[in-house]
Amino acid sequence: MFPPVFRNFPLPTILMHMVSYAHAGSTKLGGHMAGDAKAASGEPNLQLLSQLARGLVVTFAICAAVWVVLAATVGTFVIWRPLQVSGIPLDGLIAWCVFILASSCRLYMQAYATFLLGTGFVAQVRRLEAINWTIGGLVSAASLAVFPNFILAMALLQAPLFFNLVLLRRKAIVEGWQPASAEKARDLNLRKELLPRAVRGGFGAFMSYMVIYGSALMYAQVGEGEDVAAFAFALNIFGIVSQLTLAPMFGALPTLSRLLAQRNMAAQNALAQSAMFRGMIIYALAVPAVPVGIYVANLFLPVPLIFVDIKLWGLLAIANFLFRYGAMHLHYYTVTNDIRWHIVDGINATLFLSLLAAQGTMSIYAFPICQAIALVMFYVPYARRLTWLHFGFGLRRDLAYAAGPAVFVVLSLVLLELI
């Protein structure tokens, strides 16, 4: 939905919630937790949506400009040596320029995508994004097969996004996209509402990445090459599984924001529970499917894939189950636009690293065990407490959506180990 550089950064999510509030008729941008906040009317607040449209354009245009500067300077410096030893330095540099241009366009395009997501068109935006990448990948691969030119392949890979930009803009206009004048947009004071949340969320996202992928970097300092490769591969697979697990909750966020603005707590909690259940089902099915799929693939591959043993995969699965469970509640709470990621992920990372240091050894099994303990100590209970206190999302609901998938994951992993 969002480009890689922003996929886990909170800026698009925060803005999406603001659009959802305005679309529900709210007059507020900062969330609806205050006791004296009135329920939204249910009719779109056209003036606020117009101001937000201008704010979205300005915000993502600035993001695109910052990306171009950083990519052209720091990014070029980082890839310079690989370009020199690649054998095609000029082609590689031109392809890098094409990628910078396309990425900046994709960032700017998020103004329209965020507006549409906030107004409830989640499926349409995702569909366009999927079509964009599919067409680009197929055409790029075909060009390499017919005329192996790296620059052309990169250009064809990125070309469909310009059509995506046109389609998203046209759809946004149909749904009420009418940016206000710059003067009226300044009255909104979007920066005051947005910047503190973006900074807190960005720090939290960074700390979360450090916990998940920093494990592989730390183990790489002491582990054997094959073990490190298998561990890093497993972590990347769990990254994909995590995105799939959270997808139902991400898809429900715009509607949850509108229900919150309208103070319809019963429907809000029912939708959140349904989204969590679907996410946990995806997780429960994916965890045993991955090692089985790799085993089958290795029967046909000339060089088998290196993968972790079932015991380590099981420990990683338990740790990631706790992570996804807490993350679902944390993302649910963000519909209030009260960003707590810096607290949750910051303390979780501190606990995780402290536990690793305290146990003294650098066994590969220590990483998921320390992560699970750290999650149980703070991340999970804190995230769970937020939805319980503010939404009345009781613990009994967990039995309805989490208990079954958790038992299924454990039993399936035990069965795989016995086999």
For residues 67 and 155, membership in a common domain is answered with: yes
Express as a percent the part of the chain with pLDDT over 90.
Answer: 16
CA distance 1 to 125: 7
> Of 188, 223, 252, which residue is a domain's last?
188
Query: Is residue 7 over pLDDT 60?
Result: no
For residues 140 and 248, membership in a common domain is answered with: no
For residues 230 and 183, membership in a common domain is answered with: no
| pLDDT at residue 233 in the model | 83
The 10s digit of each residue's pLDDT in 258-286 is: 888 888 889 999 999 999 999 999 999 99
Listed range (93-97, 214-218, 236-240, 241-245) with the worst mean pLDDT: 214-218
> Of 167, 188, 209, which residue is a domain's last?
188
Q: Are 138 and 274 in contact (CB under 8 A)?
A: no
Listed range (213-217, 245-249, 250-254, 349-353) with the worst mean pLDDT: 213-217
| pLDDT at residue 37 in the model | 52
For residues 163 and 64, membership in a common domain is answered with: yes
Confidence of residue 40 (pLDDT cuts 50, 70, 90): low
Handedness of CA 409, 123, 269, 9 (dihedral sign): positive
Residue 221: phi and psi, rounded to 5, are -75, -20
Q: Are 95 and 154 in contact (CB under 8 A)?
A: yes
CA distance 344 to 383: 8
For residues 265 and 321, membership in a common domain is answered with: yes
Can you read off the two tokens belonging to residue 256? 């949850």
How many Å is the Cα radius of gyration of the chain? 23
Q: Are 160 and 136 in contact (CB under 8 A)?
A: yes
- Which residues have C-beta within 8 Å of that of residue 330, sequence separation ≥ 6? 340, 341, 344, 383, 386
Q: Are 316 and 375 in contact (CB under 8 A)?
A: no
CA distance 114 to 173: 13
For residues 178 and 290, membership in a common domain is answered with: no
Nearest alpha-carbon partner for 116 in 170, 64, 159: 170
Can you read off the two tokens belonging to residue 104? 């900046």
| pLDDT at residue 31 in the model | 59
Q: Are 199 and 340 in contact (CB under 8 A)?
A: no
The 10s digit of each residue's pLDDT in 181-222 is: 877 777 777 777 777 777 777 777 777 766 776 676 677 666
Q: Between residues 20 and 321, which one has the greater pLDDT?
A: 321
For residues 112 and 203, membership in a common domain is answered with: no
Handedness of CA 399, 405, 410, 414 (dihedral sign): positive
| pLDDT at residue 199 in the model | 76
CA distance 5 to 66: 12
Residue 121, Cβ neighbours under 10 Å: how many?
19
**158-195 burial, b if ≥16 CB within 10 A, otherwise e?**
bbbbeebbebbbebbeebebebbeeeebeebebeebbe
Residue type, 166: V
- Structural domain boundaries enclosing 238: 194-419
Handedness of CA 211, 217, 219, 221 (dihedral sign): negative
For residues 63 and 202, membership in a common domain is answered with: no
Q: Mean of the pLDDT values across residues 82-95?
A: 76
| DSSP string computed for 302-322 | SSPPP---HHHHHHHHHHHHH
For residues 220 and 97, membership in a common domain is answered with: no
Nearest alpha-carbon partner for 47 in 185, 230, 242, 204: 185
The kind and range of the H/E element at 292 are helix 265-298
The kind and range of the H/E element at 119 are none
CA distance 245 to 283: 6
Query: Is residue 2 over pLDDT 50?
Result: no
For residues 24 and 163, membership in a common domain is answered with: yes
What rounded mean pLDDT belongs to the chain? 82
Can you read off the two tokens belonging to residue 22? 């305005």
For residues 288 and 399, membership in a common domain is answered with: yes
> Of 139, 160, 188, which residue is a domain's last?
188
Q: What is the phi-psi region of residue 338: left when phi exceeds 0, alpha when psi lies from -120 to 50, beta otherwise?
A: beta
For residues 165 and 203, membership in a common domain is answered with: no
Q: What ranges in 147-264 are assigned the alpha helix state H?
A: 150-158, 160-174, 182-188, 190-219, 225-261
| DSSP string computed for 321-381 | HHHHHHHHHHHHHGGG----HHHHHHHHHHHHHHHHHHH----TTHHHHHHHHHIIIIIHH
Q: Mean of the pLDDT values across residues 393-400?
A: 84
What is the count of structural domains for the chain?
Answer: 2
